[in-house]
C-alpha cells in the first residue's frame, strides 16, 4: 500500500493506531484527545498548555503567484488559527525550515520577513527553529499557547446554534480564477486572491468566546466548511441543519458572473481560517455581544439537530452536505 492510497487523513489514522497499539507513553489526562485542532496538557493552576504543528509545503500549499513573504506569514497564521479555535492565547512559535541547496537566499529572507510580520500581527514571539536541507521548500510550524478554558470539537448538543466567524467562498472563488482561468473584473480578482495569499486567524474573538463559556464546540475551517461541519457533527455525535449559507460578496459576484452554484463555493473551499462554532441557544446574545466588542463577526447559519447528517435546507428542499475537503497526498 502506498502513502497516496491512504491519503493525509488515512496516514494520520495509521499513526494513531500504531501509537495506541505499540503503547507510546500516555499522560494521565489528555484534555484535547485526537482528533482535534490542537493538542493540550493540563498545567499547574488548572491552566492548559496547547500545542499545534502544521506544515506549509511550497509545492502543494502555495497557490501560483504567492510571494515568499506571504508564505512565511501563512505558515504562522495556519498554526495560530488552530490555537484560536480552541480558545488559546499564543505563547511562542518555532519553525523548521527545509531548504533546497540552490535556493535563493533573498527568497528565504522574504519568507522570514513574512513570519516576522505575522509575529507582530498576532503578538506571538518567534523563539526558535532549525534549518535543514530538503528537496523542496517547507516551513514546519509549531505553536504553543495557554488557555484557562478550552473548547473541543465534541461538545455540540441538539438545539445549539451553528455559527461562523465570517463569510465563506473567497478561496474557492480564487482557485477557480487561478486554476480554471475563470474571468473576473480586476477588483474582484484582487479581493479573491487576497484571501489565499493573506489569510487571517480569528485570534482575539476565539479566545474571548472560549473564556466566556458561551460556545459548546469549535473547529478551524481550513479543511473547508463542509468538511468542518461534518467533523464537528461526527465528534459531537449530532446532526446539523444549515439554513443560511454565509456567502462572501466575492463568491456571490463570481457565481452570478459565471452561473456557478454559490453553495459549492461556500461549502467546498478550504484554506479559510474562520472558526465554526456551536453556541448554546441561551447564550447566543452574549456570544453576539462578545463578537461585536472584539471587533469580529458571528453569523448564525443553522442549528444542531439529532442524528448524524449535515443537511442544507435550500428553498424547501433538504440536501445532504458531504464531508468533501482538500487533503494532502490524495
Instruction: Give the residue from 62, 212, 55, 71 showing the smallest Cα distance to 147.
Output: 212
**Site size toward a second copy, by CB under 8 A:** 84
What is the torsional sign of CA 199, 203, 209, 215?
A: positive
How far apart are alpha carbons 144 and 121 in whole angstroms? 16
Site string for a second copy, 70-99 (x = CB under 8 A): ---------------------xx-xxxxxx
Residues 297-326 that bind a second copy (CB under 8 A): none
Among 62, 68, 87, 134, binds a second copy (CB under 8 A): 134
Q: What is the helix (H) or strand (E) element at residue 69, kind and residue range?
A: helix 68-86
Residue placing its CB nearer to a second copy in the complex, 71 or 279: 71
Q: Assign residue 159 a region (left: φ > 0; alpha: ψ between -120 and 50; beta: otherwise).
A: left
Instruction: Please give the grid coordinates belonging to residue 53.
Output: 504543528
How far apart are alpha carbons 196 and 63 in whole angstroms? 7
Residues 172/195, Cβ–Cβ less than 8 Å? no
44 binds a second copy (CB under 8 A): yes
258 binds a second copy (CB under 8 A): no
Closest approach of Cβ 115 to a second copy, in Å?
7
Report the DSSP pairing between strands 126-133 and 161-164: unpaired
Choose the stretch contacting a second copy; rule: CB under 8 A; options: 40-48, 154-162, 171-179, 254-262.
40-48
55 binds a second copy (CB under 8 A): yes
Site string for a second copy, 161-200 (x = CB under 8 A): ----------------------------------------
Residue placing its CB nearer to a second copy in the complex, 38 or 304: 38
Residue placing its CB nearer to a second copy in the complex, 309 or 329: 329
Amino acid at each position: 500500500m502506498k502513502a497516496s492510497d491512504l491519503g493525509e487523513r488515512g496516514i494520520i489514522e495509521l499513526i494513531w493506531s500504531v501509537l495506541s497499539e505499540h503503547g507510546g507513553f500516555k499522560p494521565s489526562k489528555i484534555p484535547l484527545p485526537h482528533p482535534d485542532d490542537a493538542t493540550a496538557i493540563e498545567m499547574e493552576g488548572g491552566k492548559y498548555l496547547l500545542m499545534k504543528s502544521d506544515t506549509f509545503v511550497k509545492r502543494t500549499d502555495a497557490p501560483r503567484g504567492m510571494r515568499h513573504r506571504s508564505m512565511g506569514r501563512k505558515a504562522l497564521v495556519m498554526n495560530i488559527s488552530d490555537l484560536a479555535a480552541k480558545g488559546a492565547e499564543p505563547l511562542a512559535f518555532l519553525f523548521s525550515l527545509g531548504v533546497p541547496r540552490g535556493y535563493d537566499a533573498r527568497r528565504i529572507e522574504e519568507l522570514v520577513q513574512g513570519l516576522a510580520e505575522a509575529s507582530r500581527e498576532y503578538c506571538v514571539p518567534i523563539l526558535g527553529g532549525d534549518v535543514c536541507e530538503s528537496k523542496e521548500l517547507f516551513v514546519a510550524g509549531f505553536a504553543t499557547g495557554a488557555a484557562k478554558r478550552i473548547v473541543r470539537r465534541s461538545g455540540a448538543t441538539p438545539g445549539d446554534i451553528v455559527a461562523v466567524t465570517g463569510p465563506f467562498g473567497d478561496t474557492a472563488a480564487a482557485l477557480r480564477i487561478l486554476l480554471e482561468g475563470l474571468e473576473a473584473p480586476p477588483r474582484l480578482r484582487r479581493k479573491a486572491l487576497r484571501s489565499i495569499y493573506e489569510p487571517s486567524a480569528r485570534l482575539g474573538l476565539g479566545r474571548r468566546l472560549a473564556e466566556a463559556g458561551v460556545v459548546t464546540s469549535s473547529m478551524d475551517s481550513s479543511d473547508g466548511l463542509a468538511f468542518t461541519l461534518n467533523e464537528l457533527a461526527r465528534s459531537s455525535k449530532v446532526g446539523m441543519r444549515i439554513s443560511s449559507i454565509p456567502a462572501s460578496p466575492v463568491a456571490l459576484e463570481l457565481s452570478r458572473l459565471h452561473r456557478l452554484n454559490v453553495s459549492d463555493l461556500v461549502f467546498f473551499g478550504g484554506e479559510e481560517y474562520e472558526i465554526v462554532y456551536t453556541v448554546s441557544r441561551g447564550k447566543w446574545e452574549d456570544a453576539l455581544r462578545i463578537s461585536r466588542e472584539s471587533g469580529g463577526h458571528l453569523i448564525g447559519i443553522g442549528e444542531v439537530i439529532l442524528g448524524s447528517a449535515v443537511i442544507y435546507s435550500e428553498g424547501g428542499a433538504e440536501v445532504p452536505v458531504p464531508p468533501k475537503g482538500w487533503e494532502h497526498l490524495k
